[in-house]
Amino acid sequence: MRYAFNPSKRVLMGPGPSDVHQRVLSAMARPLIGHLDPEFVQMMDNIKTMVQETFITKNMLTFVVSAPASAGMETCLVNLLEPGDECIICVNGVFGGRMVDIAERAGAKVYKVDTEWGKITELSQIKKALELCPKPKLVALVHAETSTGALQPLEEISDLVHEAGALFVVDAVTSYCGVPLRVDDWKIDAIYTGSQKNLSAPPGLSPISFSEAAVKVLENRKTKVQSWFFDLSMVKNYWEGAKRAYHHTAPVSSIFAMYEALNLVLDEGLENRWARHNEVHQYLKNKLEALGFRFLVEEKYRLPNLNAVYLPEGQDEAKLRADLLNQFNIEVGGGLGVFAGKIWRVGLMGESCTRNHVNMLVGALDELMVK
Amino acid sequence: MRYAFNPSKRVLMGPGPSDVHQRVLSAMARPLIGHLDPEFVQMMDNIKTMVQETFITKNMLTFVVSAPASAGMETCLVNLLEPGDECIICVNGVFGGRMVDIAERAGAKVYKVDTEWGKITELSQIKKALELCPKPKLVALVHAETSTGALQPLEEISDLVHEAGALFVVDAVTSYCGVPLRVDDWKIDAIYTGSQKNLSAPPGLSPISFSEAAVKVLENRKTKVQSWFFDLSMVKNYWEGAKRAYHHTAPVSSIFAMYEALNLVLDEGLENRWARHNEVHQYLKNKLEALGFRFLVEEKYRLPNLNAVYLPEGQDEAKLRADLLNQFNIEVGGGLGVFAGKIWRVGLMGESCTRNHVNMLVGALDELMVK
């Protein structure tokens, strides 16, 4: 042993990863099987079904990208966009900004809809953008901004987007399995998420799904996707059909973990899981406000599972956050971008979404905060 | 429980993944820590050092791509190539072909050096290519072709490449930690590999390393890398320097696994590990030849850890391979590309490289083969 391996036992209450259930951890400790083993192929089929169930979609093109959610974002955008395409992207935090960067690298002309961080994009803003860009190929936005804790309503925007003949692309990284999300009902054409937040599997995988309309766009591309790894025209042959064409070696152990995490979600029931996230959020909210924390986001657009809060006056956020980690093994997240050093992001996601977690955090804060 | 999780206990003797040591499996079953936790940052530093030691390099830009080896291939090529650049890529199997595809998507003009599958690229072929393309930006080839089991000598080609002022790019997916590989001594400018072969960690990660000359090329790019996820100018800020800028959520559990797998390699010693792969290969070779199998690759260019073999006459490769899996839980690989249905690929990699593995396989074959 040259480098000791002794990770501490942390309580994960940041923006992800969240705590992972023992059943999921144990699944990862199982000996591997081959990525073309008939048992693994069956497992991929089951995962596809479970991802469909959790996205609430019948989309045939539904599977898991073998890389983190940022790669899922890139997969969705670079497959749908070709050089010269016009699109509208809403930006109210880090991840909307990342979508713009990716779309521009793919050669698209991006019409940005900028909104103050912590607020949601209003319908009127999309209408205005559609006046400047009346025939966008797609309109993309973030359902739950991990950098601010804002939860974006989607249904009315979806109608507007489809009236314009565009595809509706949604980042569901922090909403999936934590708050209501109905891909088919809300007519979402392309969606991606990650494994490590409300699903509570380890980070590293990105479930995605494409509607029939989106699949038609993929099939009618005039140019090759710039990326080999993200090109769905090839990777989908590994996830679909009678003959599973080798594409890349799937991350077998991570798939084992996701398999069990999805089973846990379906055992609990999606609606129960959404309700739990909301209930524990209320429990946290009352206690944090009693300690003097203030929420960044207006109540009706507040993401229950990612609580962006200003600290009470007189508290040193960096020191308090380090003390929580070092003295109580509790991780909460700092701010990103314009909110760096200004807010905390307290995650209540998946296995980390329990009243016991809230009480651990509040008890530690009570001990550590400057009185 | 809606979908049972009961993977069989397989004996992995295909082209990867290979068997994984219990210490590595147990590491993955450890509760997660955050991807920005100081303990995790320390772990990334240690992994960087261990990857440097196993590549035998002092390259500062050495780290792990959060996706499978194919993504590592893409990372190397799309960061070094810009539209209009000329390069030479040697193709003697599936993975050389994949490099060509990726380089062309990046807008490069590729001079292909084609060699019959199962053979190595000769120095004279590179010389000829350099006449057609005297100033390539890079010359790329595969050290160990996983599709054929051919082991490419690198040192003389490296000299030739550097005389032409080009960067030398090497795919080490199936050679890393299994056969001699000396990145600095052999003046390799960019190299990528995977986690799941001789390293015997689960698939899903790709260690890479860039020389100073390659870093200069990265720094002098005129255009943005087309891919956000693979753009080293950003991801390296997460792996290096005093302030670790958030880029994407690292696959924490997979990193835990790789950490322990690297420790196991260094405990054994690289040279001992290379010797073990060679010894067990000889042990397998004698027994397979006694059963009537014939090797595809000429003896001096034969990869010890991936044995590409023709079956004895009268054996049905697909049936025999399925019987091995179904009756003995032993996985061997079939042929890829032009060798599909024609050869087997028997892996002796990492934890799967023991005489016990050979004897399990040979005993099962003796039972199953048509006499």
Same domain, A283 and A205: no
- Cβ contact, residue pair B66, A204, below 8 Å: yes
Residues of B in contact with A67 (CB under 8 A): 66-68, 71, 229
Q: Which domain holds residue B343?
A: 11-16+270-368
- Cβ contact, residue pair B227, A228, below 8 Å: no
The 10s digit of each residue's pLDDT in A233-265 is: 888 888 876 677 788 999 999 999 999 999 999
**Six token digits for residue B215:** 């870093």
Look at residue A246 in the predicted model and tell me its pLDDT: 81
Q: How far apart are CA B28 and CA B202, in angstroms?
A: 10
pLDDT band at B244 (very low <50, low <70, confident <90, very high): confident
For chain B, the residue count is 371
Same domain, B68 and B158: yes
The 10s digit of each residue's pLDDT in B204-226 is: 999 999 999 999 999 999 999 99
Listed residue (B244, B96, B276) closest to B169, CA to CA: B96
Same domain, B185 and B248: yes
Average pLDDT, chain A: 96
pLDDT band at A1 (very low <50, low <70, confident <90, very high): low
Q: Is B139 helix (H, G, I), strand (E, B) or coil?
A: strand
**Closest residue to A249, CB basis, from B196, B249, B254:** B196
Distance to chain A for B181, nearest Cα, Å: 21
Of B235, B266, B297, the position where a domain reaches its end is: B266
Of A232, A250, A266, the position where a domain reaches its end is: A266
Residue A325: pLDDT above 80? yes
Contacts of B216 (CB under 8 A, 6+ apart): none
The 10s digit of each residue's pLDDT in B89-112 is: 999 999 999 999 999 999 999 999
Same domain, A165 and A34: yes
Give the alpha-carbon dihedral of B191, B197, B200, B203, to 10 degrees.
80
Averaged over A12-26, what is the pLDDT?
Answer: 97
Listed residue (B23, B4, B8) closest to B330, CA to CA: B8
Report how far apart, in Å, the C-alpha atoms of A337 and of each of A13, A146, A147, A225, B230 are. Answer: 20, 11, 8, 30, 21
- Provide the ipTM: 0.96
Q: What is the CATH classification number for the domain harbouring A110?
A: 3.40.640.10
User: Does residue A1 lie in a domain region?
Assistant: no
pLDDT band at A2 (very low <50, low <70, confident <90, very high): confident
Residue B1: pLDDT above 70? no
- Cβ contact, residue pair A70, B31, below 8 Å: no
Q: What is the CATH classification number for the domain harbouring A336?
A: 3.90.1150.10
Q: Is A221 exposed, middle or buried (0-12, 13-18, 19+ CB in 10 A)?
A: middle
Residue B327: pLDDT above 80? yes
Q: Is A219 exposed, middle or buried (0-12, 13-18, 19+ CB in 10 A)?
A: exposed
**Six token digits for residue B132:** 């057609």
Of A246, A266, A286, the position where a domain reaches its end is: A266
Residues of B in contact with A229 (CB under 8 A): 67, 70-71, 74, 230
Give the alpha-carbon dihedral of A48, A54, A55, A58, to 10 degrees.
60
Quote the percentage of chain B above a pLDDT of 70. Answer: 99
Q: How far apart are CA B334 and CA B313, in angstroms?
A: 16
Same domain, A161 and A93: yes
Report how far apart, in Å, the C-alpha atoms of B82 and of each of B14, B28, B111, B227, B321 are. Answer: 36, 38, 15, 12, 43
**Six token digits for residue A350:** 């998946």
**Six token digits for residue A81:** 């966009």
The count of domains in chain B is 2
Same domain, A252 and A107: yes
- Cβ contact, residue pair B1, A263, below 8 Å: yes
Residue B242: pLDDT above 70? no
- Cβ contact, residue pair B251, A37, below 8 Å: no
User: Does residue B1 lie in a domain region?
Assistant: no
Same domain, A138 and A197: yes
* 8-state DSSP, A106: T
The 10s digit of each residue's pLDDT in A164-198 is: 999 999 999 999 999 999 999 999 999 999 999 99
A254 with B251: CB under 8 angstroms?
yes
User: Does residue B6 lie in a domain region?
Assistant: no
- Cβ contact, residue pair B105, A230, below 8 Å: no
Same domain, A300 and A244: no
User: Does residue B4 lie in a domain region?
Assistant: no
Look at residue A242 in the predicted model and tell me its pLDDT: 67
Question: How many beta-carbon pairs below 8 A join chains A and B?
Answer: 240
Look at residue A371 in the predicted model and tell me its pLDDT: 86
Same domain, B185 and B281: no
